[in-house]
Structure 1
């Protein structure tokens, strides 16, 4: 997959649109010291464009795990479904936090497939969420997302 040039003005718009959190795992770059990347929601390899409606912010690990995927299998039904789209879908419609706030739970076919395909509960992420919870930084309020 070739990298596409993203104009500075468009990058600035995406930063405003998405804020400081990964569109998938909700990791806040201010807690990690690692800047989020701008990713193609519909991968270029799958015909996605480099325009505002197809760009969002994600952490490096979610972006790498997603790669050229735009669909995945729902582990409950075995059906192939589209992955979650942080630009057009509300996070809270497809995911919720476990009672302790450490784990992301997919509550729809799209949510379940995305949790599995992007491995949203990576062990080191869960450990970080535990620490962020102790200091009151987590879980984020996802009601306004999407």
Structure 2
């Protein structure tokens, strides 16, 4: 994929230099965050700036070419979170300790599940331990994100 630097810079700035799904801060990474196609190119998505989101490698890989997931509460299919159509806080909140993202809508729950936003599939809970350390450093969660 060849996204012009000007477009990449606009996407990064628009996202406040954090993953638009899990809100991972780019400055905490050893490499720049990636560009995700909200509607994957493999199913008709384009390189239009309104179809691009800033994503950490983990969220980008788990998003893959999916546009929906299963809401674990209702067992119904739901669209994945689209940062161009909705505000993060409409679908997600942080636990009080800042280590877990909780989906508060079908879209939020399906996105948490599909993108494994809380590292539930790994036994060592790497993401949750990292978030705890980032909170101690005062970098997490972002001030504007709601908590339980």
TM-score by length of 1: 0.91
2:100 alignment partner in structure 1: 103
Counterparts of 2:71 and 2:54 in 1: how far apart (Å)? 24
For structure 2, the residue ranges without an aligned partner over 5 or more in a row are 120-124
SS where residue 19 of structure 1 aligns? coil
SS where residue 133 of structure 1 aligns? helix
For the 8 Å contact 2:12–2:18, the answer to whether it is kept is no
Tell me how large the CA RMSD over aligned residues is.
1.4
Q: Verify: 1:54 aligned to 2:56, yes or no.
A: no
Cα displacement (A) at 1:143 = 4.6
Counterparts of 1:64 and 1:70 in 2: how far apart (Å)? 13
Cα displacement (A) at 1:99 = 1.2
For structure 1, the residue ranges without an aligned partner over 5 or more in a row are none
Counterparts of 2:93 and 2:103 in 1: how far apart (Å)? 7
1:83 alignment partner in structure 2: 80
For the 8 Å contact 1:46–1:70, the answer to whether it is kept is no
Q: Verify: 1:37 aligned to 2:39, yes or no.
A: no
TM-score by length of 2: 0.90
